[in-house]
Structure 1
Amino acid sequence: MSVKEATGNDANVQSPEDATAEGLDPAAKPAKAGKDDSRTDMVGKALGLLVLLGDEPRGASASELSRRAELPFSTTYRLLGSLTRDGFVDYEPEGRRYHLGLRIFQLGQRVSNHHGFAGTALPILRRVTDQTGEATILSVRDGQHHLTVNKVDGPQTFRVTSDPGHLGALHTTSVGKALVAFAEDGERERLLGELPLEPLTSLSITDRNAFRAEIEQVRRQGYAVMDEENELGMRAVAVPVLNSQGVAFASLATAVPVFRLSMDALLALVPLLQAAASELAARLPQR
């Protein structure tokens, strides 16, 4: 089904109320781009809007995106219209909010397949979950976040909510700590100095010296833990997936609800995760 068929229109992706509120005629044609809006510049702005939408799982209005991107509303409105027509963005008329579209998911799946995270990694993750009975998660670093690229749920009813495509904090998660601890030396120092240490629970590390000490401990012991720092009621252990230079290009974790496994029982799974990480390192492209 085309975007036009799904939405019932092809150009009026912004509600009349939104456009009128911003002083625009919703029936008017988009203004032509000025000299400052070169094709390359507009592509960059459109990509910036997609990145912002990726950080908003509940979506965002055109006005909110305009403010966050520091773009004129007319420019934001025009770009969102183009992105919606091409399927990169979906528009929700009821809430007047935009969301990432199916086209983005399709591209993401192709990237995952290209890097081997879907095909090559999945059997290994399944084998770990078969042995632990718990969720196994594979993540990579995406700037100042970790990105879940694959996950296999356990058979239990209570499951982990970090699905593929999820962006999470580095300082409050076991996968994130492993990625920071085993980053290249210069990059690790930059992250230690610049990561925003915002609390997600009362147990989150927010002191920079304490975070540095935590990362040093992760490097010494070869694994990282999360004990209700990212989400109350959940704990996890993660190991790095290392390239030939000893730098993490991914991290592998087992995550469980606190009522099901103690920390000691979770740490007993580290050798299993390390063996799986070594297999992943040998099979995955180290990009």
Structure 2
Amino acid sequence: MSKTFEMLELLGDHPDGISAARAAEITGHPFSTAYRLLGGLVESDYASFDPSTKAYTLGMEVFRLAQKVAHRRGLSGATRDLLAELTAATGESSILAVRRGNAALTVLTVDGPQFRTTTDPGDESPLHTSAIGQALLAHDPAAEATIEALEFEARTPNSITDPDQMRRKLEQIRETGWAGQSEENDVGMNALAVPVFDLDGRLLASLALAAPVFRRSLDELVALVPQLTKTAADIAARFPR
């Protein structure tokens, strides 16, 4: 069973598709094993196979289950209208993310009227470079252990790569209640995020607004914090206790 899950993860890492031969090469399994595992996933609709390209991709059953989980956790259907209202009010793209290991997993996005976000549901962002990640990391009870585990690789020339600098920024985030980044995660993009706590004060997610630098400066995004925090509270109110 673990080999099957490994193959599912591999398909998730290759959204444009992967051949059985390449899957065997990456996993180290014999070709016959990789072919059998992929075939089983296709039979159960957890994978799809394109005969013209000989490529395997994730199937609709994975999408169906993901949608069920997202809805159960209040991260998709129950909150999409709130993000849509936030985007309509601010004119900027909104992003909802949760923690997954040492990354921020995007679960929902609503594109602004003039551009689409640089992240899609299912994408992972580094905790130390993205606003959504920094907001999650700042309120992690085990933040110090997480910092020690991070590799602090730079995504842009503005990325924070020094753990002590990150510690100082996280303290600032806790004081202000928001995390902002200017071209730390993607060149040409600013973003600002706030944490989403449930009614018992537990960290659930982070909510962000993202805008290209030519449209809004980081200071201009900061002016939208009241709207962002209100939406975060509205999201929290919809989570089951």
Name the aligned partner's letter for residue 96 of structure 2. L
1:176 matched residue in structure 2: 133
Distance 2:206 2:222 in 1: 16
Name the aligned partner's letter for residue 60 of structure 1. I
Distance 2:53 2:158 in 1: 34
CA 1:213–1:58 in structure 2 vs 1: closer, same or farther (change >3 Å)?
Answer: farther
- The number of equivalent residue pairs is 241
How far 1:95 moved relative to its partner?
A: 4.2
2:81 matched residue in structure 1: 123
CA RMSD, aligned part only?
1.9
CA 1:218–1:65 in structure 2 vs 1: closer, same or farther (change >3 Å)?
Answer: farther
2:168 matched residue in structure 1: 213
Distance 1:258 1:231 in 2: 11
Identical positions, percent: 45
CA 1:190–1:278 in structure 2 vs 1: closer, same or farther (change >3 Å)?
Answer: same
State which of 143, 146, 152 in structure 2 corresponds to 1:197.
Answer: 152
CA 1:204–1:98 in structure 2 vs 1: closer, same or farther (change >3 Å)?
Answer: farther
1:282 matched residue in structure 2: 237
TM-score (norm 1): 0.77
Q: Secondary structure of the residue that 1:250 maps to in structure 2?
A: strand
Larger radius of gyration, structure 1 or 2? 1
1:267 matched residue in structure 2: 222
Name the aligned partner's letter for residue 109 of structure 2. K
Report whether the alignment pairs 1:48 with 2:28. Answer: no
CA 1:61–1:193 in structure 2 vs 1: closer, same or farther (change >3 Å)?
Answer: farther
8 Å CA contact retained: 1:55, 1:167: no
How far 1:159 moved relative to its partner?
A: 2.0
Structure 1 gaps of 5+ residues are 1-42
How far 1:246 moved relative to its partner?
A: 3.5
- What aligned pairs does 1:1-287 form with structure 2 within 5 A after superposition? 43-156=1-114, 158-183=115-140, 185-186=141-142, 188-244=143-199, 246-285=201-240
How far 1:56 moved relative to its partner?
A: 2.5
CA 1:244–1:69 in structure 2 vs 1: closer, same or farther (change >3 Å)?
Answer: farther
How far 1:160 moved relative to its partner?
A: 1.2
Structure 2 gaps of 5+ residues are none
CA 1:219–1:110 in structure 2 vs 1: closer, same or farther (change >3 Å)?
Answer: same
Distance 1:217 1:98 in 2: 45
Distance 1:246 1:264 in 2: 28
Q: Secondary structure of the residue that 1:79 maps to in structure 2?
A: helix
1:10 matched residue in structure 2: none
How far 1:94 moved relative to its partner?
A: 4.5
Larger deviation: 207-216 or 108-117? 207-216
Describe the superposition over 1:58-106 as per-residue Cα deviations: whole angstroms up to 9, x where unpaired.
3333344334434333322211111112221123444443221222111
Distance 1:200 1:130 in 2: 30
Describe the superposition over 1:119-166 as per-residue Cα deviations: whole angstroms up to 9, x where unpaired.
32122112211210111111111112222211222222x221322222
Name the aligned partner's letter for residue 197 of structure 1. F
8 Å CA contact retained: 1:224, 1:239: yes
Runs of 4+ in 1 over 4 A off after TM superposition: none
Distance 1:72 1:55 in 2: 20
Q: Secondary structure of the residue that 1:254 maps to in structure 2?
A: strand
Name the aligned partner's letter for residue 106 of structure 2. T
Q: Secondary structure of the residue that 2:147 maps to in structure 1?
A: helix
Q: Secondary structure of the residue that 2:49 maps to in structure 1?
A: strand
Distance 1:258 1:161 in 2: 13
How far 1:264 moved relative to its partner?
A: 0.9
Distance 2:46 2:8 in 1: 8
